Structure 1
Amino acid sequence: MLDPVPSSPATLSDGSSPTGGAVLPDGVDRAATPPQRVAVLWCRRTADTALRALTSLDLIPLLLAPADTEEFLATSGEPSVLVVDCDALDAEAADVLARIRAAHPRLSVCALAGADASRDGLLHALRIGVAEVVDPARPDDLAAVLTKVVESPAHVRVLAVGAHPDDVEIGCGGTLLRHRDAGHAVTVLTLTLGDQGGRPTDRRREAVGAATRLGAELLLADLADTRLDEEVGLTRLVEEVVAAVRPTVVYVHSAADQHQDHRAVHEAVVVATRRVPEVYCYQSPSSRVGFSPTRFVRVDDTVGEKVDLLGVYRSQSARHYLEPDLVMATARYWARQLPHIRHAEPFEVHRASGDGADLH
């Protein structure tokens, strides 16, 4: 079960995508990219070295005062890293940092401390439990430490896979919005343009619009709609996308589904993600009664935005399962599994390490 998270805009990936410069397989198009990642920097002395190191990692560095950082976190989501110059870490700033670490346990913090660093500031950093301390006069060391911090397993990378445009948003849109609000990098892989259910140009445009609202990277393939079960190379294609995205959490169709495309995608993803620690299966309108969820994600704060997200798919507006009252009623139905909440999304657990999908 997942705890609620505050709603805030996303700050997810670099200017291109969570996949960075990784090569995508032939036939997969990067159709939308998310906003750029942010790094917050506390610094009293010159910040040139730290700024260069952060921008070399395709992060947008923001120079903020400690007193302003809590408000930034409350309104703009988690940055990728907080870099703290020990000379800026007096007792008041140390109290702010302690509160931030308590409220955002996944936020990585790196302390800058040169040979002439403030002894009190360094002690404050060590007392609060800042694990990484580096000399800003050694730019190579600083870049290496920041790279390790930014690529740490604590940084959740989500891959949601669907057979058709709107599948992912229907099945786990509220949960993906929660991941976004927690600052996690979100990638959506859609394997067909859904041409059997509408004009491909319309469906592609809508998928891009939904990904933009979601703050997600969108990867689109144009495989044969309603014939994915005949695609010999489907598993290999998904494997190559997984290698590029390197997800820590994956969402995909359930095997308990009447649509042959959905079952084919489930089977391919289960094989392709055999080394991914967290794999969950979502419900579709075509799911059978055999769909048996055991994980329920609270979406009280995001279900309204999920309805708006589904509204982007105007070419599908006649589909009853996109009607706002049914979307809300379905979320209300599953909420009975969790105490004191009103809306939830259900998932079958294929694999769970207990680390990546918990939204704190």
Structure 2
Amino acid sequence: MKIDILAIAAHPDDVELSCAGTLLKHKSLGQKVGVIDLTRGELGTRGTDKTRAEEAAASSAILDLDVRECIDLPDGFFANTPEFQKKVIKVIRKFQPRVILTNAVRDRHPDHGRAAELVRDSAFLSGLIKIETFDDKGLSQEAWRPEKVYHFIQNDFIQPDFIVDVSEFWDKKMESVKAFKTQFFTGDQSTNPDEPETFISKPGFIEFLEARAREFGHKVGVKYGEGFTTNSSLGIKDLDSLI
């Protein structure tokens, strides 16, 4: 299956927090969208890798993803090395995305910046025909390089290079975020009363998400926006294509 937009992120919920609205928008345009979780988020303070997997499945249904897979890199301990690059290359060649969305180039969580470098470099290397990878049936994979790699913006503020209007999809995005009920404040914490409070489980974190999206939206004259950065120049067909 070829995927138009493939989001590859360090942890389950990274995509939901940062670019779920963009995925929903492109899904509404008839494109195929998917998520690759690099890790299971097994080092997270709250929940377990099992509950994170269940929550990711629930979120995937809300987002109507065409595919979601986890490639089981070690949470907290993966690096931008040939060993891990080949695992990312393999999944890029499997789904042959036109566009990849991935983690912020720098952020509060060190995994995010490392994932940004790992995915960016793997996307380039995936296009080199002399790098051999094999699918799950042992068949040689075709070299494939996506047209673009964009980095979403996470906890730390980064000036976006462009902003996607996700106003129409904001409520559905937040529904996908709150599917991770062990991680975030959902308005009913009775499901995990014994879990320790964390930076992201406080009610204020959800308020911060909305404030950030409103700020980005304000910059382009819409209600809610999701911001992205790029390592390459952006081209437009004409001035009227800008909002």
Letter in 2 for 1:211: S
Structure 2 CA distance, aligned partners of 1:302 and 1:295? 18
Per the alignment, residue 336 of structure 1 pairs with: 218
Kindly state the Cα deviation for residue 323 of structure 1 after the two structures are TM-superposed: 4.8
Q: What's 1:46 paired with?
A: none
Where in structure 1 are there 5+ consecutive unaligned residues?
Answer: 1-17, 20-155
Question: Where do residues 1-360 of structure 1 align in structure 2 (5 Å cutoff)?
Answer: 18-19=1-2, 157-197=4-44, 198-216=47-65, 217-229=67-79, 232-274=82-124, 275-285=145-155, 287=156, 289=157, 291-318=158-185, 319-320=201-202, 323-339=205-221, 341-351=222-232, 352=234
Give yes or no for contact 2:7–2:102 (8 Å, CA) kept in 1: yes
| SS across alignment from 1:196 | coil
The separation in 2 between residues aligned to 1:219 and 1:303, in whole angstroms, is: 24
Name the CA distance, whole Å, in 2 between partners of 1:183 and 1:322: 35
Q: Aligned to 2:151, what secondary structure does the other structure show?
A: strand
SS in 2 for 1:273: helix
- CA deviation string 1:267-299 (max 9, x = no partner): 1111122232121101122x3x5x231100001
Indicate conservation of the 8 Å contact 1:226/1:261, yes or no: yes
Alignment CA distance shift 1:277-1:342 (3 Å):
same
Superposed CA deviations along residues 209-267 of structure 1, whole A, max 9, x for unmatched, are 11121111101122211111276511111111111111111100122223221122111
Contact preservation (8 Å) 1:247, 1:276: yes
1:330 to partner: Cα distance? 1.5
What SS is found at the alignment partner of 1:280? strand
Residues 165 and 225, structure 2, Cα contact 8 Å, conserved in 1: yes
Where 2:6 maps in the other structure, the secondary structure is strand
Q: Read off the aligned partner of 2:231 and give its amino acid letter.
A: H
Q: In the aligned structure 2, how far is the partner of 1:185 from the partner of 1:350?
A: 24
Indicate the percent of aligned positions where both proteins have the same amino acid: 26
Distance of 1:270 and 1:322 partners within structure 2: 32
Letter in 1 for 2:93: A
1:159–1:249 contact (8 Å) kept in structure 2: yes
CA contact (8 A) 2:63 2:172 kept: no
Q: 1:250 to 1:297 in 2, by over 3 A?
A: same
Which SS does the other structure have where 2:102 is aligned?
A: strand
Provide the TM-score with structure 2 as the length reference. Answer: 0.75
Paired residue secondary structure (2:115): helix
Question: Contact 1:307 / 1:327 at 8 angstroms: preserved in 2?
Answer: no
Distance 2:202 2:90 in 1: 35
Structure 2 residue identity aligned to 1:348: T
Query: Size of the alignment, in residue pairs?
Result: 201
Q: Is the 8 A contact 2:80 2:118 kept in 1?
A: no
Structure 2: any 5+ residue segments left out of the alignment? 125-144, 186-200
Counterparts of 1:219 and 1:353, CA distance in 2 = 32
Change beyond 3 A, Cα 1:320–1:183: farther
1:108-148, Cα deviation, whole Å (9 max, x unpaired):
xxxxxxxxxxxxxxxxxxxxxxxxxxxxxxxxxxxxxxxxx
Note closer, same or farther for the CA distance 1:245–1:166 as it changes in structure 2 (3 Å cut): same
Check conservation: 1:303, 1:328, Cα contact below 8 A: no
Q: Which has the higher strand share?
A: 1
